[in-house]
Structure 1
Amino acid sequence: MTTKRIQTIEKIFKKTTSSKQIHEGVLFVENTDGDFSYSKGYGGKDMDSPLLMASITKLFTTTCIIALLEKGQLSLEDRLSKYFDKALLSSIHVYGGKEYSFDLTLSDLLFQVSGLPDVFEEGKDSVKSRAIEEDYYTTFSEQVVMVKKLKPHFAPRTKRKAYYADINFDMLGEIIEKTTNTTLAEAYKKYIFEPLALESTYLPEHENDFIPNIYYKDKSIYRPKVIRSSRASGGCITTARELMIFMKAFFGGELFNKVIFEKLTASNKLQASMGPIYYGSGYMRIPLDGLITLFMGKGELMGHSGSTGSFAFFYPVKDIFMVGDLNQMGNAALPIRLSMKLAMMTK
């Protein structure tokens, strides 16, 4: 990449961090071979500063599911009733007067096509609104109870529909534990951290595990219990440096059979509140050739963002990986906008 292109990336990041909403951040951009590499910190953050992955954690959960699929230890067509007892599943999905709870499959969860509601964003006592005010811990069973109090959005596998809901991945996390007969943290360690020699990436389990503060607008809040409750849907901690290593491995076929992964091609557009995002087999897909870019882009971004400002995307058209964090819970669109601008302008 030329000096001019580096200057363009710097200009985009500087403009993003000049916003009053951003108090700290980090950006790391690199191509597959690493012969182009650019990083920039802001507000005291750098490539080795701990950052909350939030929903990027879903890529770790996806990795474990595909690795177990490759080993033949589970099938995406498995019904949830194989892994959860009847009492827990009963009434979790009742739509149009019909119960679908026992028809749900692993595939429905991975592709976000179960139709289940999202307790993080929905309801008068949503996880997000409550977390802004206080720190509290919820068990998986309690999360399921919360889901049952909300209405599903459509019948499972309704054509061209997807609905982003954390419970889909929280359930996949439980399934990973049941299949491997170990903790989710140990599964992440076996299938991700150890193969990639990640030393600063972990799933917090104990009170003394370090968890970074999160900004909500101008307020810095500390929510360790909320983060430890998020687990498979959003609980991991990493650094920009190690997140880059993971992203290259995830899309490069180092962690599981790439052929299996590439066969999982279906994707559906998420709910309107998620903007231009589609969801594939455990990851976000953001097309750059549509109205939102005035049809000026090509291809798509693949990866994930988090509700706290984290982002990790691969742009195959230009062989660019971009990871980092803007640490702002008050505007989940910020990392998406930044990633799209970087993809559109890095040539």
Structure 2
Amino acid sequence: MMTIIKIIGVVVLVLVAAIGFLYWLSSKPIMKDQAISDIKGIADKSINDKKSIYSALVYIDAPQKDLTVKYAAGESNGEKIKTDQPFHVASVGKQFTATLIGRLIDEGKIKLHDPVGLYLDDALLDNLFVFKGVDYKDLVTIQQLLSHTSGVADYFALKDNGLMESLYQTPDKFFTPQELVKYTQEHQTAYFAPGNGYHYSDTGYILLGLIIESATKKPFHENLHEVIFDPLSMKDTYLMFYSEPQNGKRPIAEAWVNGHEISQFQSVSIDWAGGGVISTLDDLAVYIRALYQGRIISPETLEALNQFDYEFIPGIAYGNGFMQMQFDKFMPTLRFLPKMTGHMGVLGTQLFYDAATDMVYVSSLGSSDATAASVQTMIQTLSTVYRIK
């Protein structure tokens, strides 16, 4: 559910925040109790009614500092939000799709650089990859879909004449994966020939979900549960509209898009393999740690997915289904922060991991206006951790 539209201005905002924050960093180191209090205060300050940010969920586990903080601020559904509240993960879910592709690579069912035409019908690929009169559908690879370098447009993004506003304009509309691909076929055009650029595309991830179904002969949601959710006992995690969590469904945290609360709308089906998962702070932390511990896919395959050769925006590099936060590119004086790997989503959602220290960071601010705030909250939280004596 991520879109470049919601990231516009994030670099400027984060830089301004970082400049002011550096003055605060110049103070002396702090004790762990003070750090916990400060992290909770950072979450509290992220609440902003003017930007439809009514709640904040933050989780940080930093073994190198013997620190774990799980905190909920604000309200959702008329009640104080809880730390175990399920929420829409948005494009954080692209990591799950990439992980399933990784498992299929390990099992020898697909290869990273296979042409997508090996798994998808020609009719499904028609008019998706036509650039300057040339149809490149036979040249597009799985890796290019993962890395957003296939050239395909994004059915979601407003700048692509996408469907983002449909979330609240047609709330009762249920979108199938095939309908989403068809929208790109009929209403959008490719941005470049495969491999000749970078353009973030949810359409590409719908195609990846369909490739997973083709290679396994199983629905996408069954793959999620069999490969990731069930083995890791992620009992509150599921694909909305398609599956059930082991613990049973509970109220989902509010999700605000352009000032509209959309968490229960049928139109949220617009996500699917691009970010349609519901999860919790704890479940996401379990997943990303297991992933980097080699418990889901092989280290070799994960390394291939974690080649960060593309730029999402300055300060955020993109690989094959994963982002890397490169804080020194936001502000050189932030180079003391690690290069966290994971993904972020349009609802101010974050899931990142530092393999060197086994540190996990998870958050959700529940609003499409919270992208800059979520990055700022992450920087401030991590910086607080690194001040602990």
TM-score (norm: length of structure 2): 0.81
Q: Match of 1:157?
A: 195
Q: Match of 2:58?
A: 27
Q: Distance in 2 between matches of 1:332 and 1:343?
A: 17
| Aligned residue pair count | 342
Q: Distance in 1 between matches of 2:382 and 2:357?
A: 8
Q: Which moved more, 1:142-151 or 1:202-211?
A: 202-211
Q: Match of 2:46?
A: 16
Q: Distance in 2 between matches of 1:111 and 1:221?
A: 28
Q: Distance in 1 between matches of 2:306 and 2:288?
A: 18
| Pair 1:266 & 2:297 matched | no
SS at 1:333 equivalent: helix
| Pair 1:288 & 2:327 matched | yes
Gaps of 5+ in 1: none
1:131 Cα deviation after fit: 1.3
| Pair 1:140 & 2:171 matched | no
Pair 1:39–1:128, CA change in 2 (3 A): same
Q: Decide whether the 8 Å contact of 2:109 with 2:215 is kept in 1.
A: yes
SS at 1:128 equivalent: coil
Q: Decide whether the 8 Å contact of 1:28 with 1:38 is kept in 2.
A: yes
SS at 1:168 equivalent: helix
Q: Distance in 1 between matches of 2:331 and 2:49?
A: 21
| Pair 1:90 & 2:126 matched | yes
| Pair 1:333 & 2:364 matched | no
Query: In structure 2, what residue type is equivalent to 1:267?
Result: F
Q: Decide whether the 8 Å contact of 1:249 with 1:255 is kept in 2.
A: yes
Query: In structure 2, what residue type is equivalent to 1:322?
Result: Y
| Pair 1:37 & 2:68 matched | yes
1:306 Cα deviation after fit: 1.2
CA offsets, 1:73-105, max 9 Å, x none?
111121111111112212211123322112101
Q: Distance in 1 between matches of 2:279 and 2:65?
A: 20
Q: Which moved more, 1:293-302 or 1:59-68?
A: 293-302
1:222 Cα deviation after fit: 4.0
1:217 Cα deviation after fit: 5.2
Q: Distance in 2 between matches of 1:228 and 1:122?
A: 17
Q: Which moved more, 1:293-302 or 1:45-54?
A: 293-302
Report matched runs for 1:229-240 at 5 Å.
229-240=270-281
Pair 1:9–1:267, CA change in 2 (3 A): same
Structure scoring higher RCO (CA < 8 A, sep ≥ 6) equals 2
Aligned residue among 283, 287, 290 for 1:249: 290
Pair 1:218–1:84, CA change in 2 (3 A): closer
Query: In structure 1, what residue type is equivalent to 2:295?
Result: E
Aligned residue among 182, 194, 216 for 1:180: 216
CA offsets, 1:199-236, max 9 Å, x none?
11001235996655422355423443222332110101
Q: Decide whether the 8 Å contact of 1:111 with 1:267 is kept in 2.
A: no
SS at 1:311 equivalent: strand
Pair 1:15–1:315, CA change in 2 (3 A): farther
Q: Distance in 2 between matches of 1:164 and 1:217?
A: 20
The Cα RMSD (Å) is: 2.4
Q: Decide whether the 8 Å contact of 1:52 with 1:237 is kept in 2.
A: yes
Q: Distance in 2 between matches of 1:280 and 1:257?
A: 17
